[in-house]
Chain A
Amino acid sequence: MSDLHIRIGTMKTVKPTDIHPALSEERIHKVARVLQEARETALAVFEPGRGDTPWSLGCVSYSRSCFLLARAAEGEYSDWLSIVEDAGLHFVFAIGGVPLRFYKGEPEHPKSNSLRRNLPEVRAQQQAFQFMEHSDSADKVLRLALETNEAGAVETVSLVELDDLGRPLNSFSLHLDKAPLLTFTPKHRQAVSLPPPVVRPKGKKANVSKEAGK
């Protein structure tokens, strides 16, 4: 894929499909676009002048990301995208059965709460890797890190592989230079208003005097 960039740093550069064949670049790109879309719609209603803060933006963005991923998993991407766990602030989805979580921040410095794993994720991880020979990824943690630009829009999405102690091993970054398509955001239907009823004089002006009929 043209906009796939390998991050240069201490981490190894391994293709996502080397971790698991289900993690194709195309699928990761599609998920990244969904997360970009969610952030974009959150930014659209972000009004610092009315008391919105980066915290509230993050909350809206997170909630919308979960919502849009769930919609995509039920709809267009149902063949390969699924929801593993949706427990309030702990949201886990899976690409081709491989569980992932997302967070906003640098790929090299994931926050501890985004590394936490619950039983559904551990089980899904074990199932996804159980038939893969010579793979040590069953114990690894996979995360998508979202990096934003100065305007708050998602610019880069990185797939990060971390060891069980949370140390980053590999990272694959996608630069999202195109505007989000708003594919999964439900559109508000605009009400249809009819014009006022048309009332007009009948034929010629009637020649009626005011006194007549009184």
Chain B
Amino acid sequence: MTVENFVGSQLYVARTFRGYSQTQLAKLIETVPSFICEIENCRKNPSRELLERIYSVLGFAPTFFCRETEDILEDHQCSFRHRATTPQGLKKRVLAYGTLFMTLVHRLRSLVELPTYNLPRIQVGSTEDIEQAAQTCRERLGMGSSPVGEMTRVLENSGVVVTLFSLPTLKIDAFSRRGPVSIVVRNPSKNSTSRALFDMAHELGHLVIHPDGAGSSEEEAEADRFASAFLLPRSGFIPDFTAVRNPQWIHLFEMKRNWRASVAAIIRRARDLGLIDEGEYKRRCCYLRMKGWHKGEPCEPAEETPETLRAALDCYESESGFTLRDIGKQLGWTPETTEEIAGIPLPKDNEPRDRGLRIVVPRHGKHEGGEAGE
């Protein structure tokens, strides 16, 4: 007996989300790879027994495979920094994650109004154009030439939902997509907050100057330049860097504390703006490598966490009474899968839900309880 309304593309999403190849999955569910291929292409339907095995291996409920996902993340829509060297399996995995995450956001948006996407679309043809594009974004956000406080908030206030997805590799730092739901997915495995902030500024660059997706190494270099110009704007950076003649490392780390950009990014920016020559730049880079700072620098800024999703979940719950666990169940995800996709741990069934700290102002003459809405 087969399941008639099985949607093959859902199996593809679930399989690639788990990082399995067709052969690996076939081995786990005791079938042949070609059959998996047939199911994914909707040429055959799995039996109920096979579906049960798929469900247990992939961590999705049978209902997940019977409902088509509307907004599927495609490779060409996204920008990967190391497109050529990123393993295909890994790329498919993060795309599947992005698809599932967007499904969650679409669900939340049915009841919750998220910040409106308001990033400009700017065409660039030269380095000066990129500098201007970054400056335009800064001005729109009211940042002038000051350091960026929280990069995640820059994206989230611009209508981009930011999420973290841990990968066992550093091949993918982050990727973005502009669409009905615009997202930035960041890999938190990187051992450097300052570089993570740069990654987000890089993705902001793609969203602004390559809104239809980027692929070439030139476009990646343009996004790097944008990130550099956004985090370290010329008008603010040059006076700071030139305040000290021949800045020592201690000065560069002081700048890092202030600008929240890695020392490597500061040196690179100084070279790009002609504040240091090529020889000085190489000498600094050699020292950086010698100290092992290319793998992780000292004096890292504080870690940033996305806020939109949590706020949207709280709002959704207060509006409908549905928790994240309930939403996951509706979407056909197991609690473990829901935790992985949302990046938020679910409270145990018997555990009281943490609704955050509330300031309760006692009323005169009332020591216990309170009125609704207090």
Complex: chain A residue closest to B162, CB-CB: A197
Could you tell me the distance between the alpha carbons of A58 and B240 in the complex, rounded to whole angstroms? 25
A202 in the interface (beta carbon within 8 A): yes
Q: Within 8 Å CB of A191, what residues of B?
A: 146-149, 258, 260
A200 within 8 A of B: yes
Interface contact B115-A197, CB-CB below 8 Å: yes
Q: Are A210 and B326 in contact (CB under 8 A)?
A: yes
CB distance from B251 to the nearest CB of A (A): 11
A29-37, A102-110, A148-156, A182-190: which lies at the B interface? A182-190
Within 8 A of A (CB), among B274-328: 307-308, 311-312, 314-315, 318-322, 326
Residues of B within 8 A of A189 (CB): 145-147, 236, 240, 258
B150 contacts partner chain A, Cβ-Cβ < 8 Å? yes
* Residue B141, interface by CB 8 Å: yes
Contact B157 A195 (CB under 8 A): yes
Q: How many residues of A contact B (CB 8 A)?
A: 25
What A residues does B356 contact at CB under 8 A? none
User: A-B contact count, CB below 8 Å?
Assistant: 93
Out of A190, A194, A196, A214, name the residue touching B311 (CB < 8 Å).
A196
Q: Is A198 an interface residue (CB 8 A)?
A: yes
> Is A206 within 8 A of B147, CB to CB?
no
Asked whether A210 lies within 8 Å of B236 as measured between CB atoms, the reply is no
Q: Report whether A199 and B113 are in contact in the complex, using a CB–CB cutoff of 8 Å.
A: yes
Alpha-carbon separation in the docked complex, A192 to B145 (Å): 9
**Does chain A have a CB within 8 A of B335?**
no
Assuming A189-B258, A192-B144, A192-B146, is B113 touching A197 (CB within 8 A)? Answer: no
Closest chain-A Cβ to B219's Cβ sits at a distance in Å of: 27
Set of chain A residues within 8 Å of B330, measured between Cβ atoms: 213-214
Q: Is A54 in the interface zone, CB < 8 Å from B?
A: no
Q: Which of B153, B154, B245 contacts A196 (CB under 8 A)?
A: B153
Q: Are B236 and A194 in contact (CB under 8 A)?
A: no
Q: How far apart are the CA atoms of A213 and B326 in the complex, in Å?
A: 9
Per DSSP, chain A at the interface is loop
The CA of A65 and the CA of B153, in the complex, are separated in Å by: 40
- Cα A195 to Cα B158 with chains together (Å): 12
Question: Any chain A CB within 8 A of the CB of B112?
Answer: yes
Q: In chain B between 314 and 358, which residues have their CB closer than 8 angstroms to a CB of chain A?
A: 314-315, 318-322, 326, 329-330
Chain B, 251-270, CB within 8 A of any chain A CB: 258, 260
Q: Is B125 on the interface with A (CB-CB < 8 A)?
A: no
Chain A residues with CB under 8 Å of B314's CB are 199
List, in ascending order, chain A residues with CB within 8 A of B258's CB: 188-189, 191
Q: How far is the CA of A191 from the CA of B258 in the complex (A)?
A: 7
Residues of A within 8 A of B156 (CB): 196-197
Contacts of B244 in A (CB 8 A): 67
Beta-carbon nearest neighbor of A213 in chain B: B330
B243 at the interface (CB under 8 A from A): yes
Q: Give B338 Cβ to nearest chain A Cβ, in Å.
A: 14
Could you say which residues of chain A place their CB within 8 Å of the CB of B326?
210, 214
Query: What 0/1 pattern do residues 48 to 64 of A give for CB contact below 8 A with B?
Result: 00000000000000000
For B125-154 the 0/1 string (1 means CB < 8 A from A) is: 000000000000000011111111110011
Please give me the residue from chain B that is nearest to A206 by CB atom.
B111
Q: Please name the residue on chain B nearest to A71 by beta carbon.
A: B243
| Interchain nearest-CB distance for A191 vs B (Å) | 4
Check B148–A186 contact: CB distance below 8 A: no
Query: Which residues of B are in contact with A by a Cβ distance under 8 Å?
Result: 109-115, 141-150, 153-154, 156-157, 236, 239-240, 243-245, 258, 260, 307-308, 311-312, 314-315, 318-322, 326, 329-330
19 A-B residue pairs with CB within 8 Å = A188-B258, A189-B258, A190-B146, A192-B143, A192-B147, A194-B149, A194-B150, A194-B153, A197-B114, A197-B157, A199-B315, A200-B113, A201-B112, A201-B315, A202-B109, A202-B110, A206-B110, A206-B319, A210-B326
- Contacts beyond the supplied A70-B245, A192-B147, A199-B315: 5 A-B pairs with Cβ under 8 Å: A193-B149, A194-B141, A194-B154, A197-B156, A199-B114
